[in-house]
A = this chain, B = another copy of it.
Amino acid sequence: MQTELEIFREFIRSKGLRQTPEREIILAEICRKREHFDVDELFLRLRGQDKKISKASIYRTLPLLVECGLIREVNFVDGHWHYEQIYGQPHHCHLRCLSCGAMVEFEEPRLAAVEAELSRKHGYQIIKHVLEVQGYCPHCHQKSSARDEEAKHV
């Protein structure tokens, strides 16, 4: 299997773009910690390593990484996009805590059937799906139950 860097270089070349240290440092940082991230976090992580890469470059690079399938937009929460590295990972969905933002990843094979049916029924060429289940994680749920209990006795 090709490495992310190989994929990215091939993509950059194929589009007639240029291989730059900034682009590769951004990709390397995303791959180093295979976690969800947003632009600001990524910027601060790079800056913390004395890699002075501007936010403008990050904003210009992320769409390239999305286009070549190395990362994807996960969701738009708190006024900005969150991304995740996806290359080499099985496709997964998210379970998000509406209170603390904790995310559980899970696979859901039944969605392949859903896609196939939609394609047949509506004539769409299906590209992908995004499923996010939302609720309260055990920790936050407990906290809010405790709060409710307290409210009763006021």
Contact = CB atoms under 8 A, between A and B. Distances in A.
Given A132-B129, A132-B130, A138 B123 contact: yes
- Could you say how many copies of this chain the assembly holds? 2
A35 interface: no
Interface residues of A, number: 31
Interface in A49-65: none
Contact of A131 (B95, B123, B129, B141): B129
Nearest to A96: B124
Interface in A82-111: 95, 97-98, 104, 106, 108, 110-111
A134 B119 CA distance: 11
Contact of A127 (B126, B129, B135, B138): B135
Contact of A137 (B95, B111, B115, B123): B123
A118 interface: yes
A128 B128 CA distance: 20
A23 to B, nearest CB: 24
A126 B122 CA distance: 30
